[in-house]
Amino acid sequence: MIKVVIGSPVKQKPAILEQFLQSLDTLDSQGLAIEYVFVDDNETTSSLLCDFAGKHANTLIIRGDNPLTYFCNEETHCWRENLIWKVAAYKDEIIEYALRTGADYLFLVDSDLYLQPQTLKHLIGLKKDIVSEVFWTKWTQELTALPQVWVGDQYRLFSVARGEQLSENEQAAKTEEFITMLKTSGVYKVGGLGACTLISRYALEKGVSFKEIYNLGFIGEDRHFCLRAVALGFELYADTWYPPFHIYRESELADLVEYKANVKNNANRPKLTVGMLVRNESGRYLERVLQQITQYADEIVVLDDASTDDTVAICRKQLANVPHRIVENKTSKFGNEIELRKALWDLAVSTQPDWIMILDADEIFEAKAISSIRELLKDDSVDVIYFRLYDMWNENSLREDEYWAAHLVYRTFLVRLRFGYDYKWQEKPLHCGRFPVNIAGLPGKQSQLRLQHFGWARPEDRIAKYFRYKQLDPAAKYGIAEQYLSILDPKPNLIPWRDDD
Considering the chain, what percentage of its residues have pLDDT values greater than 70? 96
In 3-state terms, what secondary structure has residue 14? helix
Whether the predicted model's global pTM rises above the 0.75 cut: no
pLDDT for 463: 87
- Mean of the pLDDT values across residues 70-90? 72
Helices (DSSP H) in 130-211: which residue ranges? Answer: 168-182, 201-206
Contact 496, 397 (CB under 8 A): yes
Distance CA 439, CA 452 (A): 23
Angle of the 81-100 helix axis to the 221-231 helix axis, nearest 10? 50
Residue 332 has pLDDT above 60, yes or no: yes
pLDDT for 287: 95
pLDDT for 54: 94
- Mean of the pLDDT values across residues 244-268? 86
pLDDT grade, residue 405 (50/70/90)? confident
pLDDT for 475: 82
pLDDT grade, residue 78 (50/70/90)? low
Residue 106 has pLDDT above 60, yes or no: yes
pLDDT for 69: 60
pLDDT grade, residue 267 (50/70/90)? low
> Please, what are the domains in the chain?
2-267 (3.90.550.10), 272-496 (3.90.550)
List strand residue ranges (DSSP E) for 361-499, in order: 363-365, 384-391, 397-399, 411-416, 444-453, 494-496
pLDDT for 46: 85
- Mean of the pLDDT values across residues 392-414? 90
| Paired sense of beta strands 236-239 and 187-190, if any | antiparallel
Distance CA 326, CA 347 (A): 9
Of the listed ranges 148-152, 314-318, 486-490, the one predicted with least confidence: 486-490
pLDDT for 38: 96
Fill in the DSSP letter of residue 167.
Answer: -
In 3-state terms, what secondary structure has residue 312? helix
Considering the chain, what percentage of its residues have pLDDT values greater than 90? 60
Burial class of 38 by CB neighbour count within 10 A (0 to 12, 13 to 18, 19+): buried
Highest mean pLDDT among 91-105, 236-250, 418-432, 453-467: 91-105
Q: How many CA atoms does the CB half-sphere of 377 hold within 13 Å?
A: 24
3-state helix, strand, coil in the chain (%, to 5): 30, 25, 45
Q: Which residue has the higher pLDDT, 452 or 472?
A: 452
pLDDT for 335: 76
pLDDT for 79: 61
Contact 238, 322 (CB under 8 A): no
Contact 302, 279 (CB under 8 A): no
- CA-nearest of 287, 286, 319, 275 to 186 is 319
Fill in the DSSP letter of residue 347.
Answer: H
Of the listed ranges 125-139, 320-334, 463-477, the one predicted with least confidence: 463-477
Of the listed ranges 93-102, 130-139, 464-473, the one predicted with least confidence: 464-473
- Mean of the pLDDT values across residues 192-208? 97
- CA-nearest of 15, 194, 174 to 87 is 194
| Neighbouring-strand partners of residue 2 | 32
Mean pLDDT of the chain: 89
pLDDT for 477: 78
- Mean of the pLDDT values across residues 336-343? 88
Angle of the 253-267 helix axis to the 14-25 helix axis, nearest 10? 10
Distance CA 322, CA 126 (A): 9
pLDDT for 296: 92
DSSP letter for each residue of 105-132: EEEEE-TTEE--TTHHHHHHHTT-SEEE
Phi and psi torsions of 284, nearest 5°: -115, -115
Residue 70 has pLDDT above 60, yes or no: no
pLDDT for 357: 97
Contact 461, 385 (CB under 8 A): no
pLDDT grade, residue 138 (50/70/90)? confident
DSSP letter for each residue of 485-496: HHTT-SS--EEE
Distance CA 17, CA 50 (A): 12
Distance CA 303, CA 377 (A): 24
- Mean of the pLDDT values across residues 287-297? 94
pLDDT grade, residue 75 (50/70/90)? low
